[in-house]
Structure 1
Amino acid sequence: MSSTAAALSSGEQLRASYLATRAFTDQIAQPLAAEDCTVQSMDDASPTKWHLAHTTWFFETFILRTQPDYREFDPEFNFLFNSYYNSIGRQYPRSRRGLISRPGMQQVEDYRNHVDRELAKRLECDEFATQAAELLRIGINHEQQHQELMLTDAKHMLSCNPIWPTYRDDPFDESGEAKQMDWIEVPEGLHMIGHEGDGFAYDNESPRHHTHLHATSIAATLVTNGEYLEFIESGGYQRPEFWLSMGWATVQQNDWDAPLYWVQQDGRWHQFSLAGLVPVEPAWPVTHVSYFEADAFARWAGKRLPTEFEWEAACRIASQSPNVSLTQEPFADVLMQQNKCIHPTRSPAGLMGTAWQWTCSSYAGYPGYRPPAGAVGEYNGKFMCNQYVLRGGSVATSSNHIRDTYRNFFPPEARWQFTGIRLAAS
C-alpha cells in the first residue's frame, strides 16, 4: 500500500475506490452514441443504458435505501433495473431490456449523478463507511463485472451492423510471435483450493478446501488463431466424432463453422474487433469460442480441457516459477489508458489475462458452501446449474478485478465473451 493510501481513512479509501470505479464505467460508455446505448442485440446482452442504470440501482437498493433520510430517485427504477433479485421484487424481462426507451440516456445520467452525490457525501463519515463497507465492496466488484459486459455487449451490438463500425479506432497492442507450447506440471496429491486472506472475494470462491489431483500438465500458452485454423481446415466443424452430443446439435442448429466474429472476405478469414474488421492474425489467441468448441478442439488435438482445480493449482505453481508468467496481457483499464484496442494479441500468455479459459468443471458450490443470507445471497448460488466454470480473466477485465480463485461461469453455448482455450494433458 502506498503512503498516500495508508494515510487515508477507511471511508476516504472506499470513497476514492467507488468514484474511480464509477468514472471508468462512464469512460467505457463515452465512445457510444445515445442510439448505441439503447440497442439489445440478443437476449444474453443488455443495452449500455441498462448497465449504467442497473449498477446504480445496486448501490441505491442495497445501501442508500436502508438510510431513513434517503429519497429515492424514481420508484419505477426498482422494477426496470432489478436484474434477478426475486427477494427485492419483480423484474422487467431480461430479453426485452432493449424496449426500455424511457427513461432516456440523460435521465439515466441524472440517476447516476444523484446516487454518486448521495453516496460520496455519506462516505465522508467513517461510521457510515464502516457499516456499508462490505456491501460497497460487493457493489464495486459488481460494477466491474458490468464494465466487462458493457464492452462485450457493445462489441456484439456493433458486429450486427453490416458496415462494421468501430467502438474506438485504436491500434492493437504489439503481439509476440507464436511459440512452441510449454507445460506446467501439476504433481499428484492434495492441493488447497479456494480463497484465503483479507482481500475481496465472492462467496462462491469459498470455503477453502483440499482437493486430490492426479498428475497433470497444463499448457503455459493459450491456443492461437493459427492452431484453431488448422482445426477448421481439417474439417473440425464437420466431424461429429470430436463433439459432445449437445455441442454437435448446437453447431448444426446455428451453422457454426468458425469462432464468433470470424467472417471470410476475399478468400481470407477476418474477425470483428472493437477497432473494426481486421484479418485474423495466426499468432493471436483464439477467442469467442463456446465450451463446445473448446472441448471439440481439445479432443481433435489429442488433449482435454483442465478442471478448474487443476487450473488453480497450476496458478500457484506458476507464481513460484521464474519461467512462467502468472499475468501478462494488459487489462481493460490499462489498454484504454494507453489508447489501445481491447483485444487479445499476445501469445504466449500468462495464466491470468488475455481470455477467459473454459474448464471442464461444472459450476457448483465448494464442499460446505452456503449462500449468504438475504438478497445478496442470490448473487452467485442460484446459478449453480447448467453452467461451466471459466478462469483467468480477459482483456476486458479490469486489472484490479482478477485473482487466481475467481470463478466465472457461463452456459456451454455462450461465446460473446472473450473466451479462449488452454489445454491439459494427463
Structure 2
Amino acid sequence: MTVSATHIDRDRMRARIAAVLERARLRTMALTDAVDEADLLAQHSPLMSPLVWDLAHIGNQEELWLVRDVGGREAVRADIDELYDAFKHARVNRPALPLLDPGQARGYVGTVREKALDVLGTSELSGSPLVDNGFAFGMIAQHEQQHDETMLATHQLRVGAPVLSAPPAPGTQAPVDGEVIVPAGEFLMGTSADPWALDNERPAHPVHVPAFAIDIAPVTNEQYLAFLTDGGYDRPELWSPRGWAHRQEAGLVAPQFWEREGDRWTRTAFGVRAPLRPRQPVVHVCWFEAEAYARWAGKRLPTEAEWEKAARFDPATGATRRYPWGADEPDQHTANLGQRHLEPAEVGAYPAGASATGVHQLIGDVWEWCSSGFEAYPGFRAFPYREYSEVFFGGDYRILRGGSFGTDEVACRGTFRNWDHPIRRQIFAGFRLARDLREDER
C-alpha cells in the first residue's frame, strides 16, 4: 500500500468514527433535552439511574479512554471519576450523590467531545490493540449508544406527558408463520476479525450444534395473549420453581405495561396507551415468563449457539455471516434499529433481513432471551478492562441476542452479546422458540 493510500484510508476511518460519535451524541442530547431539569434529576425507577447521571457518565468514560488514555491529555474533571464509576455506586443510590447538575453535565460532555475529536484528528489509529482500526473510539461510541438505550428504557418508565415521538413501525410484508429446521453441523461462532467487536464476542471458534427447529419469527402479542388467556400466569406447572416464586413475589399477571380494559388489552409505550398490535413481537417480558410460555407451547428457548447459528450460518456455502442477510450494514429495509420507531415492527416486516436459514427479524425489534447463561468463549482474553465482561461470567444472568428497536447499529451485529438478570422486564426484551427434532425429522 502506498503512503498516499494509507493516508486516504486513515482519513476515511477518521470520518467514519466522527460520524458514528456524532450520531450517538445527537441521540444522547435528544433524549436528555426532551425533558425538563426536574425530570433529568429524578429517579424514575430504582432500577435506573437519573438521566443526568447517564449523561455525565457518558462523558466521563469518553474522557477516561479517549482524552486521557489514547490522547495522553490532562484530565478535564478527575474529581468526578468516582461519582460516575458504575461499579462503585448502585443505581438505587445514585440520586443521593453530589452529581453535576444538567447545565454542568452538558458543558462537561461538550468539552470532553471537543478534546476527543482533537485526539481523533492526530491519532494514527494503529500501533496498539487499543487504537488499531479505531477500536477505542468504536468502544466509546458503542458505550454511549448502550446508555442511550438505557435512557430510552428510563423514558419508558417515566410517568407524565409523552415527550418522545416517532412514526409507527411497519406492518407485515411477508408471511412468517411456522419454523425452520437448521441442520446439524459445525459453524464458526463469535469473531476474531470484526475490528470493533468487544471482548466477550471473541475469539471465533468452531461449535458443533445438533439439528434443531427454530421459529421463523419472535413470539407475538397475539400468541402471548393466548398463553395468558389459557391461565398461563396461574399454572405453576408451567413455571420453574424459581420462576413461579418470582411470579408470585412480583405479582406478575401480564407483560409489563399491559393493562386490561374490559375485554381488550392495551399497552403503554412512552406515555401513550394504545390497543395491542397483535402481530408485533411481545416486549417487556422477563426470562421466567419466556420460559413458562415455551413450556406451555411445548417448546423451549434456543441456546445461544443455536440462536447465532440460525442468524449467521449459510448452509449452502458453509460461511458464517456478519449479519443474517450478509455483510452489508443494517438499513431501513433489513432491521428495526436506532430508535427509528418507538416500538417493534410487526413480524414479517423485514423480509430483506432474513437469514440464510430463513429466519426473520433476528436483528432489531426486541432483544431475544436465550436459555444460556453468560460465559466466556474458549480462548477469551479480557480487553481492554475486566469490568466489561469478565466480572459477570458465571453470574445470575441469561443471554439476550439481536438488539431491539432502541439499539443502534454500531452496538448490534450477529456476534453481539447482551446479558441481564432473568427477572428483568424494563429492557426491550422478547423471545422466540426452538425445539429438539423428533426421530422422524432427523
Q: Which residue of 230, 250, 254 maps to 1:234?
A: 230
Find the counterpart in structure 2 of residue 383 from structure 1: 392
The verdict on how the C-alpha distance between 1:219 and 1:314 changes in structure 2, with shifts beyond 3 A counting, is same
What do residues 255-278 of structure 1 show as CA deviations (whole Å, max 9, x unaligned)? 100001111234421111025111
SS in 2 for 1:8: helix
CA contact (8 A) 1:173 1:345 kept: yes
Partner Cα separation in structure 2 for residue 6 and residue 27 of structure 1: 32
SS in 2 for 1:248: helix
Find the counterpart in structure 2 of residue 297 from structure 1: 293
What do residues 355-397 of structure 1 show as CA deviations (whole Å, max 9, x unaligned)? 0000001111112223236xx2211111111111111111001
Kindly state the Cα deviation for residue 129 of structure 1 after the two structures are TM-superposed: 7.8
CA contact (8 A) 1:288 1:418 kept: yes
- Trace 1:72-111 onto structure 2 (pairs within 5 A): 72-84=75-87, 91-100=88-97, 102-111=99-108
Find the counterpart in structure 1 of residue 118 from structure 2: 121
Q: How many residues align?
A: 402
- Normalising to structure 1: TM-score of the pair? 0.87
- Trace 1:323-402 onto structure 2 (pairs within 5 A): 328-333=334-339, 335=340, 341-348=341-348, 349-372=360-383, 376-384=385-393, 385-402=395-412
Higher alpha-carbon deviation: 141-150 or 91-100: 91-100
CA contact (8 A) 1:12 1:124 kept: no
Find the counterpart in structure 1 of residue 429 from structure 2: 419
The verdict on how the C-alpha distance between 1:319 and 1:167 changes in structure 2, with shifts beyond 3 A counting, is farther
Find the counterpart in structure 1 of residue 189 from structure 2: 193
The verdict on how the C-alpha distance between 1:103 and 1:319 changes in structure 2, with shifts beyond 3 A counting, is farther
Find the counterpart in structure 2 of residue 43 from structure 1: 46
What do residues 292-316 of structure 1 show as CA deviations (whole Å, max 9, x unaligned)? 0001001000111000100111112
Kindly state the Cα deviation for residue 180 of structure 1 after the two structures are TM-superposed: 5.6
What do residues 32-71 of structure 1 show as CA deviations (whole Å, max 9, x unaligned)? 2222222223333122111111111111112323479744
- Normalising to structure 2: TM-score of the pair? 0.84
How well do the aligned residues superpose, as a CA RMSD in angstroms? 2.6
CA contact (8 A) 1:184 1:314 kept: no
SS in 2 for 1:79: coil
Find the counterpart in structure 1 of residue 439 from structure 2: none
Kindly state the Cα deviation for residue 288 of structure 1 after the two structures are TM-superposed: 0.5
SS in 2 for 1:264: strand
Letter of the 2:297 counterpart: A
Higher alpha-carbon deviation: 221-230 or 168-177: 168-177
SS in 2 for 1:143: helix
SS in 2 for 1:42: coil
What do residues 210-259 of structure 1 show as CA deviations (whole Å, max 9, x unaligned)? 22211101111111101100100100000001101111001000110000
CA contact (8 A) 1:185 1:314 kept: no
CA contact (8 A) 2:400 2:418 kept: yes
Kindly state the Cα deviation for residue 318 of structure 1 after the two structures are TM-superposed: 6.4
SS in 1 for 2:411: coil
Partner Cα separation in structure 1 for residue 89 and residue 408 of structure 2: 29
- Trace 1:200-239 onto structure 2 (pairs within 5 A): 200-239=196-235
The verdict on how the C-alpha distance between 1:66 and 1:391 changes in structure 2, with shifts beyond 3 A counting, is closer
Partner Cα separation in structure 1 for residue 71 and residue 136 of structure 2: 17
Pair 1:59 & 2:53 matched:
no
The verdict on how the C-alpha distance between 1:178 and 1:276 changes in structure 2, with shifts beyond 3 A counting, is farther
CA contact (8 A) 1:182 1:219 kept: yes
Which consecutive residues of structure 2, in runs of 5 or more, have no partner in the other structure? 1-7, 318-323, 349-359, 437-442
Find the counterpart in structure 1 of residue 169 from structure 2: 173
The verdict on how the C-alpha distance between 1:61 and 1:265 changes in structure 2, with shifts beyond 3 A counting, is same
SS in 2 for 1:228: helix
Letter of the 2:22 counterpart: L
Higher alpha-carbon deviation: 196-205 or 297-306: 196-205
The verdict on how the C-alpha distance between 1:69 and 1:184 changes in structure 2, with shifts beyond 3 A counting, is closer
Find the counterpart in structure 2 of residue 87 from structure 1: none
Kindly state the Cα deviation for residue 121 of structure 1 after the two structures are TM-superposed: 2.0
Letter of the 2:145 counterpart: Q
Kindly state the Cα deviation for residue 203 of structure 1 after the two structures are TM-superposed: 0.6
The verdict on how the C-alpha distance between 1:187 and 1:383 changes in structure 2, with shifts beyond 3 A counting, is same
Kindly state the Cα deviation for residue 136 of structure 1 after the two structures are TM-superposed: 2.0
Pair 1:256 & 2:252 matched:
yes
Partner Cα separation in structure 1 for residue 362 and residue 70 of structure 2: 43
The verdict on how the C-alpha distance between 1:325 and 1:184 changes in structure 2, with shifts beyond 3 A counting, is farther
CA contact (8 A) 2:284 2:428 kept: yes
Partner Cα separation in structure 1 for residue 273 and residue 347 of structure 2: 21
Find the counterpart in structure 1 of residue 180 from structure 2: 184
